[in-house]
Amino acid sequence: MRPDSPVSGPTRADALALDAVDPLTGFRERFTLPKDVLYLDGNSLGALPAHTPERLRRMVEEEWGQGLIRSWNEAGWYDLPRGLGNRLAPLVGAAPDQVVVCDSTSVNLFKVLSAALRLRPGRGTVVSELGSFPTDLYMTEGLAPARRLLIGRDGDALEDLLGEDTAVVLLSHVDYRTGRLQDMAAVTARVQAAGALMVWDLCHSVGALPVELDACGADFAVGCGYKYLNGGPGAPAFLYAATRHLTDARQPLSGWFGHAAPFAMSPDYRPADGVGRFLTGTPPLLSLAGLDASLDVWEDVDLASVRAKSLSLTSFFLRLTDALGLETVTPRAEAERGSQISLRHESAYAVVQALIARGVIGDFREPDIMRFGFTPLYVSHTDVWDAAEALRQVLDTREWADARFAARASVT
Ligand SMILES: *Cc1c(COP(=O)(O)O)cnc(C)c1O
């Protein structure tokens, strides 16, 4: 690496100085990462916590292998979806007994959107956003009787679409493509003033910044276990329902795990008291074990420090990419920024592939976005500087133009 390029941006020495005063540096060793990789994709799949393999081994060899079916009671399997919900609750600003860990974000979206629609009889419209992560749009499409309106289509803003028929508004707290952060308190208040319920998708904010669902008065929320939370590939998602809705809310995937007394084996469904009514079927215990292990790390984390470091990392990267003359689509105002920087480039896919070939892992999002996620627990300012330097070289040398970087893989 050249010691002080890019020319007009901050230097590697600046990065080292910032790392020297980073209160989170100790967390890096709690993750296992390959030596030759700079990982800027923890917003898509979080890294492996160092003690997760031991937790998985225990689940497989001891709880399953030796405990067999006894582990449902003796190893606490049965209570795990609620128990992990309570461990996760502080990360989303929720008092206990409003969060469960279960299913995927997509499935949980279906449950909370359906429940919210039923809580607003006489209203039939769901408002979401054209630029949303596609599964959020697809799941609202699957809510058969609901009318769907999209912010951003025909230039409409939220205010233009909120009306007497609006039952629910679904928004991402941080936009997966641009990294824009919404003002959760203000938007929730606006939606509720129009008589609708507010559902937040926290996939790109949980574990990246403090989230205050209770304080903002959110109605429902969902989020991912495998991104910033580091629960492992395909880790179960979570679902939040505010206490005030827990008596009346009914969700349509009324499986036996959400029943008040599953082992009564009654022919009729009766929802469990509390947030457990949002469960559906038998949970994937092996995957829950991965999330269980990752939540051990979060117990020791101060979210204000995570946010401060996240902004420091993204700001540092922005200064470097500004020096390279690259166009950013992520808001420059810190209050409107999540924990990623998205850059526009006409050959974005090939540039990202060329970076990956150098061990600098970011990702590509349609149509022309290079996306770099900054996970404060295991990414340093020096990593950021080295990644920007690799980007500079890939662009300067047109390394990305090599034919082998043009072919699309099935996961981008
Ligand atoms: C990652 C992500 C999802 C993923 O949904 P799955 O059901 O886990 O595949 C949903 N919504 C948003 C905004 C995401 O970023």
The per-residue pLDDT for range 143-162, each reduced to its tens digit, is 978 899 999 999 899 999 99
Average pLDDT over residues 6-31: 93
In a domain, 70, yes or no: no
CATH number at residue 97: 3.40.640.10
Q: Which amino acid is at 44?
A: S
Write down the pLDDT at residue 4: 46
Write down the pLDDT at residue 2: 45
Return the closest-CA partner of residue 201 out of 139, 292, 276.
139
Tell which of 276, 298, 320 closes a domain.
Answer: 298
Ligand 1 pocket, residue 114 CB under 6 Å: no
- Cα(240) to centroid(ligand 1), Å: 15
In a domain, 327, yes or no: yes
Average pLDDT over residues 381-385: 98
CA–CA dist 92, 210 (Å, integer): 7
Average pLDDT over residues 201-206: 98
Ligand 1 pocket, residue 314 CB under 6 Å: no
Q: Are residues 47 and 95 in the same domain?
A: no
pLDDT exceeds cutoff 60 at 1: no
In a domain, 4, yes or no: no
CA–CA dist 297, 304 (Å, integer): 15
In a domain, 23, yes or no: yes
Beta strands 197-201 and 38-39, pairing class = unpaired
Q: Are residues 182 and 239 in the same domain?
A: yes
Split into its structural domains, the chain has a count of 2
Tell which of 298, 324, 350 closes a domain.
Answer: 298
- Cα(105) to centroid(ligand 1), Å: 6
Q: Which amino acid is at 37?
A: V
Question: How much of the chain exceeds pLDDT 70, in percent?
Answer: 98
Write down the pLDDT at residue 6: 47
Q: Is 393 exposed, middle or buried (0-12, 13-18, 19+ CB in 10 A)?
A: middle
- Cα(99) to centroid(ligand 1), Å: 17
Ligand 1 pocket, residue 105 CB under 6 Å: yes
Q: Which tens digit of pLDDT belongs to each residue from 305-314? A: 999 999 999 9
Return the closest-CA partner of residue 288 out of 376, 135, 279, 172.
279
- Cα(176) to centroid(ligand 1), Å: 9
Split at pLDDT 50, 70, 90, the class of 7 is low
Tell which of 298, 331, 365 closes a domain.
Answer: 298
Q: Are residues 200 and 282 in the same domain?
A: yes
Q: Which tens digit of pLDDT belongs to each residue from 37-51? A: 999 999 999 999 999
Q: Are residues 117 and 196 in the same domain?
A: yes
In a domain, 6, yes or no: no
The mean pLDDT value of the chain amounts to 96
In a domain, 64, yes or no: no
Q: Are residues 153 and 285 in the same domain?
A: yes
**242 Cβ contact partners less than 8 Å away, ≥ 6 residues apart:** 98, 213, 214, 217, 218, 219, 220
Q: Are residues 172 and 293 in the same domain?
A: yes
pLDDT exceeds cutoff 80 at 183: yes
Beta strands 197-201 and 220-223, pairing class = parallel
**Host domain of residue 213:** 76-298
Closest protein CA for atom 4 of ligand 1: 105
Ligand 1 pocket, residue 172 CB under 6 Å: yes
Write down the pLDDT at residue 412: 80
pTM of the predicted protein model: 0.97
Write down the pLDDT at residue 227: 98
Tokens of 351: 């540039």
Write down the pLDDT at residue 262: 96
Ligand 1 pocket, residue 176 CB under 6 Å: yes
Write down the pLDDT at residue 409: 84
In a domain, 61, yes or no: no
Atom of ligand 1 nearest to the CA of 237: 8
Q: Are residues 37 and 122 in the same domain?
A: no
